[in-house]
A and B are shown apart, each in its own frame.
Chain A
């Protein structure tokens, strides 16, 4: 694990290295294409049975059994505020690690399809645009240029911020019990 973290730090600082490319996992979600740093990703599994946790917002679809560990599954479509994600035959769950305080939290993310692993040179990564995307600006870590198009590079820690999502749940809970 220590090695992993070390290599991740190297990779993050690699942004500034001249000519150093980074690898991203590219996936599609509701007809849009996003990418997340590959060093964040643990594995990709088929979408199976998800146990719903009551009184949680739509963002948190539920929990799954990942070889004996209970892992929450997040609906990114809901997280981006665009309704709920429809599952299909190709739906996958991307298991990744995000920082939560000093710990690493394992979280699954539902995606429509996993497309490819793409290497993007540091020079081809632009800072996030101030406006023009339909996404919260702090969710975007940069815009990657590949094959003449731009791919949104997601900031996994922000998108999957445990603190933020948990507080959403708590707020929802109170109102649900209220009504």
Chain B
């Protein structure tokens, strides 16, 4: 087996388990945690520990073991949740995540020994305190020197023990009487399907570790009556690794499973397991089953049954995994190829139209329709719900709120809105920033909230929805809101703007996105926010998105991020200026109208009574055109604002596979990418959000240059 692949599976699985742990812990904090959840919590830690042991991740095992102990106590209700304990466990979860992160990055990671010590002590100090309170005279026994009296027993009862009148359980109970401490792991691997199940047959095996002052003879005498029917191995304390290796080899469970069990029993340490496995690898030539049969330890029917059982298990696992994990580069390759297919289809259609052959045209149209469906399906493969990011926020909100001594309620809506997986990962950081800011600077302190007659508990809302081919993500708080006068004063002070500008509130809010504006000091003095807002803006803008700020003093603030759904393919609307062709994303186009001939130098159009700012694209791009006929206006809309873009010709709808323009064109305004037309020529895709803002800024009396200076 390729170990690195298995390691990746382990890492993926651990991430899932850790996020499960987190959500359970968070719900536990709010007071409702069922036994099922406690068990699930324990299993998460347990599974991670077990798997980590297989990969020889000693640090991880050492740490998780302590956590697991705590969780075990919780599960057994000898320990109850307290806010302090939840924080501790959340910190532990982070530590585990960090340890796994270090494995991914192939780095050394210094384990937080302090945390480990706290966890360890939490365990004992609590339990001791409890013991002391129960019986005051109990003298605490010196803890048993680890491993000195640690026996390990491997019990494999034969199928006929029950029929012969022996009950395996009785033996285990008796062992329990002998020992001070006992740990039993049950092996159910041989249990058949229910149809084949014979209640008179014993299928179970046990791995038992004991702490007892006893002798090997005494233990052997326990099993005197079943020696013929069972396979019993007794390893005395301080057994050599080799003994464990031979134990592993003798038993039919497979080395890894068994290794896990031995670890779980605490009979061996992870490093011992590692060396045992490496010793065992030397015997790799023979299959384990063959060795076993060869040595007469097991009858071949048993081995066959075990193999069949294993196979059934695999089939079941395949059914369970209804989702498929695909490397993203394969997906990208598929989408690229489908993109090429769309382009050649469009080319075919152009040729068919030129050939004036109705049958060919119809066939081409059919083909294009099918290919478009394939394209849509292919694109949907990349889509993931935004909830993947939102899911991380309950924890962030809890931590930040706790840190600041505020009470915050987080409301999440629209978590199932989908967007490109690649974008989900990239939007996570800017969102995180916005949420932190909302709690830190948006929501007032509890005293101030009370004073202004608000609910003591502040609310932060995360919302996502689709709007005209974009996804809109909003972070809303019901805090103090932004004070435009304050911000303007501060901005003038910092030299971001000159004192004599006249700006609308919305423009003033945008000032907090300026790099020069944000320093920690500003923010604490100001009822606004500003820490790294320029970072948020650039993060959003690299995704070709847009950040809007809506705020009302005293009522709260909404940060609205608009992002394109994908960076791969769009439906386009092709227009021409002079000899150049450009593409509007079709989602952004509202309608097309004629440019009135008597418009003169006005910057507004009257669109059915509404004011519509407009701009001449040819002028902006410096394209000379001798277009004599009447000009057209494409009305586009983005983020609630409309604008008219004056162009020469309208060419109509087309498919556009977005081709990135590369770093050379990173600074170009008004262009978001390029695509290849059916003719094979490259056409540029217009950046509607930027154009809308340019038009609005131009019409609002401010020159485009001022707009550009702010971006």
**Would A72 and B671 count as touching, CB distance under 8 A?**
no
With A and B bound together, what is the CA distance between A143 and B701 in angstroms? 56
Chain A interface, DSSP helix/strand/loop, else mixed? mixed
Contact of A165 among B620, B664, B703 (CB under 8 A): B664
Instruction: Give A55 Cβ to nearest chain B Cβ, in Å.
Output: 6
**Would A173 and B667 count as touching, CB distance under 8 A?**
yes
A sample of 18 more A-B contacts (CB under 8 A), given A49-B681, A54-B622, A170-B666, is: A51-B581, A51-B682, A51-B684, A54-B621, A60-B665, A65-B680, A68-B340, A70-B660, A70-B661, A70-B662, A70-B674, A70-B682, A105-B662, A162-B662, A166-B667, A169-B668, A174-B705, A177-B669
- A32 located at the interface, meaning its Cβ lies under 8 Å from any Cβ of chain B in the complex: no
**Would A166 and B664 count as touching, CB distance under 8 A?**
yes
Q: Mark B652-666, 1 if CB is under 8 A from A, else 0.
A: 000000011111111
How many residue pairs between the two chains, A and B, have CB atoms under 8 Å in the bound complex? 98
- A18 located at the interface, meaning its Cβ lies under 8 Å from any Cβ of chain B in the complex: no
- Most A-side CB within 10 Å, residue of B581, B667, B704: B667
Q: Mark A26-65, 1 if CB is under 8 A from B, else 0.
A: 0000000000000000000000010111111000101111
B residues less than 8 Å from A170 (CB atoms): 666-667
Given the contacts A51-B580, A176-B622, A178-B705, A166 and B659 also touching, CB distance less than 8 Å: no
**Would A69 and B671 count as touching, CB distance under 8 A?**
no
- Residues of A at the B interface (CB closer than 8 Å) are 49, 51-56, 60, 62-65, 68-70, 72, 100, 105, 107, 162-163, 165-167, 169-170, 173-174, 176-178
Nearest A residue to B674, CB-CB: A70
Q: Would you list which residues of chain B between 663 and 689 have a CB under 8 Å from chain A?
A: 663-671, 674, 676, 680-684
**Would A55 and B662 count as touching, CB distance under 8 A?**
no
Nearest A residue to B659, CB-CB: A70
Contact of A177 among B680, B683, B704 (CB under 8 A): B704
With A and B bound together, what is the CA distance between A170 and B709 in angstroms? 12
- Most B-side CB within 10 Å, residue of A107, A167, A176: A176
A residues less than 8 Å from B660 (CB atoms): 70
- B633 located at the interface, meaning its Cβ lies under 8 Å from any Cβ of chain A in the complex: no
Contact of B671 among A53, A105, A163, A178 (CB under 8 A): A53
Instruction: Give A126 Cβ to nearest chain B Cβ, in Å.
Output: 32
- B623 located at the interface, meaning its Cβ lies under 8 Å from any Cβ of chain A in the complex: yes
**Would A162 and B674 count as touching, CB distance under 8 A?**
no
- B501 located at the interface, meaning its Cβ lies under 8 Å from any Cβ of chain A in the complex: no
- B491 located at the interface, meaning its Cβ lies under 8 Å from any Cβ of chain A in the complex: no
**Would B683 and A51 count as touching, CB distance under 8 A?**
yes
**Would A68 and B664 count as touching, CB distance under 8 A?**
no
- B60 located at the interface, meaning its Cβ lies under 8 Å from any Cβ of chain A in the complex: no
**Would B682 and A64 count as touching, CB distance under 8 A?**
yes
With A and B bound together, what is the CA distance between A18 and B319 in angstroms? 65
With A and B bound together, what is the CA distance between A167 and B664 in angstroms? 8
Q: Which 6 A-B pairs have the closest CB atoms?
A: A54-B621, A170-B667, A51-B682, A178-B705, A70-B659, A177-B704
With A and B bound together, what is the CA distance between A124 and B671 in angstroms? 47
With A and B bound together, what is the CA distance between A63 and B671 in angstroms? 13
B residues less than 8 Å from A51 (CB atoms): 580-581, 674, 681-684
Instruction: Give B343 Cβ to nearest chain A Cβ, in Å.
Output: 7
**Would B684 and A53 count as touching, CB distance under 8 A?**
yes
**Would B676 and A54 count as touching, CB distance under 8 A?**
no
**Would B682 and A177 count as touching, CB distance under 8 A?**
no
- B193 located at the interface, meaning its Cβ lies under 8 Å from any Cβ of chain A in the complex: no
Nearest B residue to A54, CB-CB: B621
Contact of A55 among B581, B622, B663, B676 (CB under 8 A): B622
B residues less than 8 Å from A100 (CB atoms): 663
A residues less than 8 Å from B343 (CB atoms): 68
Contact of B665 among A163, A166, A178 (CB under 8 A): A166
- Most B-side CB within 10 Å, residue of A49, A54, A64, A100: A54
A residues less than 8 Å from B169 (CB atoms): none
Nearest A residue to B343, CB-CB: A68
Contact of A60 among B664, B671, B680, B709 (CB under 8 A): B664
Instruction: Give A25 Cβ to nearest chain B Cβ, in Å.
Output: 22
Given the contacts A65-B680, A178-B705, A56 and B623 also touching, CB distance less than 8 Å: no
Instruction: Give A33 Cβ to nearest chain B Cβ, in Å.
Output: 26
**Would B668 and A53 count as touching, CB distance under 8 A?**
yes
- B708 located at the interface, meaning its Cβ lies under 8 Å from any Cβ of chain A in the complex: yes
Instruction: Give A36 Cβ to nearest chain B Cβ, in Å.
Output: 18
A residues less than 8 Å from B666 (CB atoms): 166, 170
A residues less than 8 Å from B662 (CB atoms): 70, 72, 105, 162
20 A-B pairs in the complex with CB atoms less than 8 angstroms apart: A51-B674, A53-B661, A53-B671, A54-B623, A68-B676, A70-B661, A70-B674, A72-B661, A105-B663, A105-B664, A165-B664, A166-B666, A166-B667, A169-B664, A169-B665, A170-B666, A173-B667, A173-B668, A173-B669, A178-B705
Given the contacts A54-B622, A68-B676, A177-B708, A169 and B682 also touching, CB distance less than 8 Å: no
Q: Would you list which residues of chain B between 621 and 650 have a CB under 8 Å from chain A?
A: 621-623
With A and B bound together, what is the CA distance between A20 and B708 in angstroms? 52
Given the contacts A65-B682, A68-B343, A166-B664, A55 and B669 also touching, CB distance less than 8 Å: yes
**Would B708 and A56 count as touching, CB distance under 8 A?**
no
Q: Mark B502-545, 1 if CB is under 8 A from A, else 0.
A: 00000000000000000000000000000000000000000000
B residues less than 8 Å from A60 (CB atoms): 664-665
**Would B621 and A56 count as touching, CB distance under 8 A?**
no
**Would A54 and B665 count as touching, CB distance under 8 A?**
no
Contact of B663 among A49, A54, A63, A162 (CB under 8 A): A162
B residues less than 8 Å from A105 (CB atoms): 662-664
Instruction: Give B254 Cβ to nearest chain A Cβ, in Å.
Output: 38
With A and B bound together, what is the CA distance between A53 and B665 in angstroms? 9
Instruction: Give A174 Cβ to nearest chain B Cβ, in Å.
Output: 6
Instruction: Give A160 Cβ to nearest chain B Cβ, in Å.
Output: 9
With A and B bound together, what is the CA distance between A178 and B340 in angstroms? 39
Nearest A residue to B344, CB-CB: A68
Instruction: Give B671 Cβ to nearest chain A Cβ, in Å.
Output: 7
Instruction: Give B680 Cβ to nearest chain A Cβ, in Å.
Output: 6
With A and B bound together, what is the CA distance between A55 and B619 in angstroms? 11
Instruction: Give B581 Cβ to nearest chain A Cβ, in Å.
Output: 8
B residues less than 8 Å from A163 (CB atoms): 663
Instruction: Give A171 Cβ to nearest chain B Cβ, in Å.
Output: 9
**Would B674 and A169 count as touching, CB distance under 8 A?**
no
A residues less than 8 Å from B680 (CB atoms): 49, 65
With A and B bound together, what is the CA distance between A16 and B490 in angstroms? 59
With A and B bound together, what is the CA distance between A65 and B681 in angstroms? 6
With A and B bound together, what is the CA distance between A72 and B621 in angstroms? 18
**Would A54 and B708 count as touching, CB distance under 8 A?**
no
With A and B bound together, what is the CA distance between A176 and B618 in angstroms? 13
B residues less than 8 Å from A174 (CB atoms): 705, 708-709
Q: Mark B583-627, 1 if CB is under 8 A from A, else 0.
A: 000000000000000000000000000000000000011110000
B residues less than 8 Å from A70 (CB atoms): 659-662, 674, 676, 682
A residues less than 8 Å from B620 (CB atoms): 54, 177
With A and B bound together, what is the CA distance between A53 and B670 in angstroms? 11
Contact of B664 among A49, A55, A72, A173 (CB under 8 A): A72
Instruction: Give B418 Cβ to nearest chain A Cβ, in Å.
Output: 27
With A and B bound together, what is the CA distance between A173 and B620 in angstroms? 10
Nearest B residue to A71, CB-CB: B662
